[in-house]
Chains A and B, each alone.
Chain A
Amino acid sequence: MLEISDLTVRYRTPVGEIEALTSIDVRAERGRTLALVGESGSGKSTVALAAMGLLPSESVVASGRIVFDGQELGALDEGARRKLRGSRLGLVFQDPFSVLNPSLTIGEQVGEGLVHHRGFTQAQAQARAVELLDEVGIVNPAAIAKAYPHELSGGMRQRALIAGALAPEPAVLILDEPTTALDVTIEAQILDLLEALRARRGLAMLFISHNLAVVHRIADEVAVLYAGQIVEQGRTRDVLTRPMHPYARGLLAAIPRFDDRRRRLAAIPGRLPDLRAPPAGCRFLARCPFAAPGCEAPQSLRSLDARAVRCVRANELRDTHWPRPQDPEQARGARNDAAAVVSIERLTKTFTLGRGWRFSGWRPRKEEIVLRPVDDVSLDIRPGEVVGLVGESGSGKTTLGRTILRLIEADCGEIRINGEVVSQRPQRNLEAMRRAAQIVFQNPDSSLNPRKTVGALLARPIERFGMAPRAEVPARVRALLERVRLPAHYANRYAHQMSGGEKQRVGIARALATEPRFIVCDEPVSALDVSVQAAIVNLLADLRDDLGVAFLFISHDISVVAHFADRIAVMNRGKLVELGEADQIMRAPRHPYTIKLLSAVPRLPAA
């Protein structure tokens, strides 16, 4: 149906031309879903943009043919090509929040293409839009068609975007990370919807994602991309349960699993090759634990076990495993007897958004619109314990973490850190607490001051709290870098000279500089690729074991939390709905919300 062959795309950048895709072949067939998976820099989104003819102007298509229904797009003139793309291919983007125009109604945006391409009248387009909104499972479609984007939730907007993509009756639907910005329960609904649409309309789907569990759920076939090349392609079941290419194995080994808790995760060392001059041989060579002579030769996709693998040693490696890191010698004893390092009681925080008129009976009354992101929360965290805090966006996780650290002031409730009540003290009197309790942030790009070197960033807390005499500060900084496993010369680097994982290590080192007893980790791995995420989670686990630091580990990703946390706290609309041992919560959740949340998480089969 849609066939892309030998596609090579380069981007011109200020630092040179990089090769984003090298000779890619993919076919999307009627009624089937092909998933393109890979980490950032793999080139997966470029495939979607190329198929839609939406490549940015700094790109160069060096080679490749895109054939749709027997017609080669390159052979058509510009107008015919645009018409074909506009009517037979549909595209859904990742971010439902920025794609919709805020000043047009949903109905106008869904029916827009019909007016332009099909000559529908406004009224006909509107009527068709209502039908499409109904088809994508929106309740009361007639009312929603008249609504504006800001009145819709994220899930509803993504449904509306899918409806818009379906309007021209496309044969192929290209989905670029369609559920990445959504909560898991909404993600599950959108995946169900896509599944139903594919069956009903016989769509060919090209599904682009970094999330292997989601792909496992929806795709018939998977192509794993690495550094602009397909390294393995085959049936989803085969590739995701018995990967053959070393990179695919590493990727799967790095994912935390529900059933394999409390062990160190396998990470993939190193980073992508420089794509300005991609290596002639295997592009994964520098990071591959199975590298051998012969890998320097150019690799081609060869078929093996009903799939295609770009690895010359795939057959001889079929019985080996991706190396697992060593687990710490002895299992950590539970420290249930120790006094809590952090203890909060009945903590409540409200934000007043504004005032509005409400009717109570016949009389209008002015009422405050109040949001309560933290509502009567009590929680103890013991030394060396990891409490995982899960919940969907808007549940109040981040606000709770920051309120405990007095970065946001609570309305009422008590916070005790290291046995001291800190909730009533004035900000200038919090020195001891600030040393004992630190925070690691989500976004490595925003958490490090771009104008300071790593050395200056790490030295500041040491100097600020007088942790060491001035002469010893450089040695302390080196020790911190060693602690987070960065080489000492990184002290001279700026944030923009490091990768995401390295920046996050610096963020952790900065939190450790005050020798804290407790660290709030606010989505510390959400912005990272899985292979890097594994290394960071391992690092945090080492810190817990070696230093006895307690963590409040906030994440929307339940599998990471399940892997790392001793206890799990589930938040919903500011309330702590369930708190218990991680095993118990994962195996036998009690609260209906927890049950709903856990059942929505897509899972990979056991390896």
Chain B
Amino acid sequence: MSDEARHSSDGEPPAPRRRRWSAQLKVGAALTAAILIASLLAPWIAPHPWDTISMRTRFLAPNATYWLGTDDYGRDVLSRMLMGGRLSIAMGVSATLVSLALGVPMGLAAGYFRGWIDEALMRFADVLMAIPAIMLGLLVLAVTPPALWKTALAIGFVYTPLIARITRSVTLSLANEEFIQAARARSESNAYILFREILPNAWPPLLVEASLRVTYAILLGAALSFLGLGAQPPSSDWGLMIAEARSFLDRAPWIALAPGLAMCLLVIGVNLLGDGARERLDPRIKAGVGKS
């Protein structure tokens, strides 16, 4: 016996050759990385101070000194866009983190325990989902002074049910896998099964969803800022920039165009990145062909 079984490990499976990145993934990653890096490094790479008011340089069209022109206070649009990106992206990321922190445990519990826990959590999620984000934002921000972190919290809250639903559906299919039964046959605690057995297998689809959520959160945050419920002047996030530029659309369209375009590029980039990443993150797809 020992002899022939020792051979069972002969002939290694061909080393999983790393697959090339798809064009979609490359474009997505490049766009996203460019905007993220530019925003993060804004204080150092911005060509002009973002908040210096100068009446002499009002409404300048894009030119060699001010690449994207200037706004109604004579501030450099490019610098403001970069600084605004910092705020918008930080807001989007923290909103998503809030929704992950709340939604993932909800979804795991609902999908694994089923029964009344599932019912209770998912009906609660339905109620949350029925509240329009803007309404919730207005509710929170109308009674207290507006601040960007409150916007992030409100948006995170609104996206919690979406994250919970996705986590739940992934958990439902994983809960039937035999390795979960094996963990139960070792009397593992529910927490161990949820966070050590199921969660590591659930994160690829979650990561993709979360990256898309960041962009939606940025859009929604911009909408709230546009309504005056997010960033407060003189600080600039993209939504606020567009709101401020609204009155000058006919005279100086570049003021609104710049942050709008930045937002579009980021959303497109992250969506491409998310779709491309989904395929690569599944360990089973990467497997080689040498099955016996």
Partners in one complex: yes
Which A residues contact B (CB, under 8 angstroms)? 13-16, 18, 40-41, 264, 266-276, 286-287, 325-326, 402, 405, 407, 427-428, 430-431, 434, 437-439, 441-443, 445-452, 460-461, 464-465, 485-487, 490, 494, 496-502, 505, 507, 510, 514, 529, 532, 535, 538-539, 542
The answer to the question of B288 belonging to the interface, with a C-beta cut-off of 8 Å to chain A, is: yes
Give bound CA distance, A497 to B290, whole Å. Answer: 9
Q: Given A271-B10, A539-B1, A15–B289 Cβ distance below 8 Å?
A: yes
- Rounded to whole Å, the gap between the CB of B259 and the closest CB of chain A is 40
B200–A529 CB distance below 8 A? no
Which A residue sits closest to B185, measured CB to CB? A439
Is chain B's interface secondary structure helix, strand, loop, or mixed overall?
A: loop
Give bound CA distance, A486 to B5, whole Å. Answer: 8
Give bound CA distance, A286 to B10, whole Å. Answer: 9
Which B residues contact A (CB, under 8 angstroms)? 1-11, 13-14, 16-17, 19, 177-179, 181-182, 184-188, 197, 200-201, 283-292
Give bound CA distance, A274 to B15, whole Å. Answer: 11
- Rounded to whole Å, the gap between the CB of B195 and the closest CB of chain A is 12
Which A residue sits closest to B14, measured CB to CB? A274
Give bound CA distance, A276 to B292, whole Å. Answer: 14
A267–B179 CB distance below 8 A? no
Further contacts, 15 of them, CB under 8 A, given A447-B179, A497-B287: A267-B5, A269-B4, A269-B5, A269-B10, A271-B292, A434-B187, A445-B284, A446-B177, A464-B187, A464-B188, A485-B5, A497-B288, A499-B8, A501-B292, A538-B1
- Rounded to whole Å, the gap between the CB of B113 and the closest CB of chain A is 13
Q: Given A271-B290, A326-B1, A446-B177, A286–B11 Cβ distance below 8 Å?
A: yes
Give bound CA distance, A18 to B288, whole Å. Answer: 11
B4–A494 CB distance below 8 A? no
Considering the complex of A and B, which 4 residue pairs feature the smallest CB-CB distances, nearest first? A269-B7, A271-B292, A499-B292, A496-B287
- Rounded to whole Å, the gap between the CB of B199 and the closest CB of chain A is 9
A276–B186 CB distance below 8 A? no
Give bound CA distance, A465 to B291, whole Å. Answer: 34
Q: Given A498-B13, A505-B8, A538-B1, A510–B292 Cβ distance below 8 Å?
A: no
B9–A487 CB distance below 8 A? yes
A434–B290 CB distance below 8 A? no
- Rounded to whole Å, the gap between the CB of A409 and the closest CB of chain B is 12
Question: Which of A40, A270, A431, A514 touches B10 (beta carbons < 8 Å)?
Answer: A270
B19–A264 CB distance below 8 A? no
B291–A434 CB distance below 8 A? no
- Rounded to whole Å, the gap between the CB of A22 and the closest CB of chain B is 16
Give bound CA distance, A561 to B201, whole Å. Answer: 35
Give bound CA distance, A502 to B201, whole Å. Answer: 21
A439–B284 CB distance below 8 A? no
B178–A447 CB distance below 8 A? yes
Q: Given A448-B179, A450-B283, A450-B284, A407–B292 Cβ distance below 8 Å?
A: no
Give bound CA distance, A271 to B14, whole Å. Answer: 12
Question: Which of B8, B14, B19 touches A502 (beta carbons < 8 Å)?
Answer: B8
Q: Provide the residues of chain B in CB contact with A451, threshold 8 Å.
A: 200-201, 283
- Rounded to whole Å, the gap between the CB of A9 and the closest CB of chain B is 15
A325–B284 CB distance below 8 A? no
Give bound CA distance, A561 to B7, whole Å. Answer: 25
Which A residue sits closest to B287, measured CB to CB? A496
- Rounded to whole Å, the gap between the CB of A413 and the closest CB of chain B is 20
Q: Provide the residues of chain B in CB contact with A272, threshold 8 Å.
A: 290-292
B185–A434 CB distance below 8 A? yes
Q: Provide the residues of chain B in CB contact with A13, threshold 8 Å.
A: 289
A449–B16 CB distance below 8 A? no
Q: Provide the residues of chain A in CB contact with B19, threshold 8 Å.
A: 14-15
Q: Provide the residues of chain B in CB contact with A325, threshold 8 Å.
A: 1, 3-4
Which B residue sits closest to A535, measured CB to CB? B5
- Rounded to whole Å, the gap between the CB of B9 and the closest CB of chain A is 5
- Rounded to whole Å, the gap between the CB of A178 and the closest CB of chain B is 23
Q: Provide the residues of chain A in CB contact with B285, threshold 8 Å.
A: 14
Most buried by A among B9, B10, B11, B17: B9
Q: Given A40-B291, A269-B10, A485-B8, A405–B283 Cβ distance below 8 Å?
A: no
Q: Provide the residues of chain B in CB contact with A542, threshold 8 Å.
A: 1
B187–A264 CB distance below 8 A? no
B201–A450 CB distance below 8 A? yes
Q: Provide the residues of chain A in CB contact with B177, threshold 8 Å.
A: 446-447
Q: Provide the residues of chain B in CB contact with A14, threshold 8 Å.
A: 19, 285
Give bound CA distance, A268 to B11, whole Å. Answer: 13
Give bound CA distance, A539 to B286, whole Å. Answer: 30
Give bound CA distance, A266 to B7, whole Å. Answer: 13
Q: Provide the residues of chain A in CB contact with B288, threshold 8 Å.
A: 15, 497
Give bound CA distance, A16 to B14, whole Å. Answer: 11
A485–B284 CB distance below 8 A? no
Give bound CA distance, A427 to B197, whole Å. Answer: 19
A485–B6 CB distance below 8 A? yes
Q: Provide the residues of chain B in CB contact with A286, threshold 8 Å.
A: 10-11
- Rounded to whole Å, the gap between the CB of A209 and the closest CB of chain B is 19
Give bound CA distance, A178 to B245, whole Å. Answer: 70
- Rounded to whole Å, the gap between the CB of B17 and the closest CB of chain A is 5
Give bound CA distance, A496 to B179, whole Å. Answer: 14
Which A residue sits closest to B201, measured CB to CB? A451
Which A residue sits closest to B19, measured CB to CB? A14
Which A residue sits closest to B187, measured CB to CB? A434
